[in-house]
Structure 1
Amino acid sequence: MSCTTLSAPAAAAPQAPPAQRSHPWLTLAAVALGVSMIGLDSSVVSLANPAIGRDLHASTAGLQWVTNAYLLALAATLILGGKLGDRFGRRTVYLVGVVGFTLASLAIGLSGGIEGVVAFRAAQGAFGALMLPNTLGILRAAFPPGKFTMAVGIWAMVSSASTALGPIVGGLLVEHVDWESVFYLNAPLGLITLVFGLLVLPQSRSAARGQKFDIPGVLLLALGQILLVFGIVKGESWGWTSAATLTGLGTGIAVLLLFGWYETRTPHPLLPMRLFRNRTLTIGASITALNFLVLLGSMFFVMLYLQNVQAMSPVEAGVRTLPLSLGTLAAAPVGAALTERLGARLTMPAGLLLLALASFGMLTWDTGTSYALLWPPLVALGVGSGMVMAATSEAVLAGAPVEDAGVAGGIQSTAIQIGGALGTSVLVSLIGSRVAATLTAELAGAGVPAALAGKLSAAKDAVAMGGAPPAGHLPARMQAAVAEGSSQAFMNGLHTAALAAGLLCVAGAVLATVGVRRNPR
Structure 2
Amino acid sequence: MFVPRSVRPDRLGKRIDVGGALTVTAALVLIVLGVERAAHTGAAVSVGTLLAGLAFLVAFLVIERRSAEPLVRLGILRGGSLVRANLSAMLFAAGFFGFQFLVVLYLQDLRGWSTLETSFAMLVIGIDAILSPTLTPRLVDRFGNARVILGGLLLAVLAYGLFLRVGADWSYATMFPSLIALGLAFSLAYGPLTIVATEGIAEEEQGLAGGLLYTAFQFGAALGLSAVTAVSVAATDTQTPEALLDGYRTGLLVPFAAAVIAAVISAFGLRSRQGGAASTPADTTAEHTGATVSR
Q: Does 1:487 align with 2:287?
A: no
Q: Which residue of 2 aligns with 1:231?
A: 34
What SS does the corresponding residue of 2:39 show, helix, strand or coil?
A: helix
**Cα distance 1:207–1:331, how it changes in 2: closer, same or farther (>3 A)?**
farther
Q: Which residue of 1 aligns with 2:129?
A: 329
Q: Which residue of 2 aligns with 1:265?
A: 66
Residues 344 and 518, structure 1, Cα contact 8 Å, conserved in 2: no
Residue 151 (structure 2) aligned to one of 345, 350, 356: 350
What SS does the corresponding residue of 1:237 show, helix, strand or coil?
A: coil
What letter is aligned with 2:250?
T
Q: Percent identity?
A: 27
**Cα distance 1:335–1:254, how it changes in 2: closer, same or farther (>3 A)?**
farther
Q: Does 1:518 align with 2:267?
A: no
Structure 1 consecutive aligned stretches of length 4 or more whose deviation exceeds 4 Å: 201-209
What SS does the corresponding residue of 2:274 show, helix, strand or coil?
A: coil
What letter is aligned with 2:255?
A
**Cα distance 1:379–1:213, how it changes in 2: closer, same or farther (>3 A)?**
same
Q: Deviations over 1:344-394 (max 9, x none)?
A: 321111111100111011124211111111111111111112322112111
Q: Deviations over 1:394-450 (max 9, x none)?
A: 1212253221222222212211221111211111222222222xxxxxxxxxxxxxx
* 1:337 CA drift (Å): 4.2
Q: Does 1:408 align with 2:209?
A: yes
Q: How many residues are treated as equivalent by the alignment?
A: 273
Provide the C-alpha distance between the structure 2 equivalents of 1:324 and 1:332, rounded to a whole number of angstroms: 12
Q: Which residue of 2 aligns with 1:176?
A: none
- Between 1:329-338 and 1:206-215, the stretch displaced more is 206-215
Q: Which residue of 1 aligns with 2:102?
A: 301
Residues 396 and 412, structure 1, Cα contact 8 Å, conserved in 2: yes
* 1:332 CA drift (Å): 2.4
Residues 344 and 392, structure 1, Cα contact 8 Å, conserved in 2: yes
Q: Deviations over 1:11-64 (max 9, x none)?
A: xxxxxxxxxxxxxxxxxxxxxxxxxxxxxxxxxxxxxxxxxxxxxxxxxxxxxx
Provide the C-alpha distance between the structure 1 equivalents of 2:58 and 2:136, rounded to a whole number of angstroms: 35
Q: Does 1:255 align with 2:9?
A: no
Residues 345 and 518, structure 1, Cα contact 8 Å, conserved in 2: no
What SS does the corresponding residue of 2:38 show, helix, strand or coil?
A: helix
What letter is aligned with 2:260?
V
Q: Which residue of 1 aligns with 2:250?
A: 496
Structure 1 portions without partners, runs of 5+: 1-197, 437-459, 464-485
What letter is aligned with 2:219?
I
**Cα distance 1:224–1:317, how it changes in 2: closer, same or farther (>3 A)?**
same
Provide the C-alpha distance between the structure 1 equivalents of 2:241 and 2:100, rounded to a whole number of angstroms: 18
Q: Does 1:422 align with 2:176?
A: no
Residues 356 and 505, structure 1, Cα contact 8 Å, conserved in 2: yes
Please show how residues 452-471 of structure 1 align to structure 2 within 5 Å.
460=238, 463=239
Query: RCO higher in 1 or 2 (8 Å CA, sep ≥ 6)?
Result: 2
Residue 507 (structure 1) aligned to one of 261, 268, 272: 261
Provide the C-alpha distance between the structure 2 equivalents of 1:229 and 1:502, rounded to a whole number of angstroms: 19
Provide the C-alpha distance between the structure 1 equivalents of 2:27 and 2:81, rounded to a whole number of angstroms: 24
Residues 125 and 183, structure 2, Cα contact 8 Å, conserved in 1: yes
Residues 287 and 508, structure 1, Cα contact 8 Å, conserved in 2: yes
**Cα RMSD after superposing both structures:** 2.5
Provide the C-alpha distance between the structure 2 equivalents of 1:409 and 1:204, rounded to a whole number of angstroms: 19
Structure 2 portions without partners, runs of 5+: 278-295
Q: Which residue of 2 aligns with 1:219?
A: 22
What letter is aligned with 1:487?
P
Provide the C-alpha distance between the structure 2 equivalents of 1:295 and 1:275, rounded to a whole number of angstroms: 27
Greater C-alpha Rg: 1
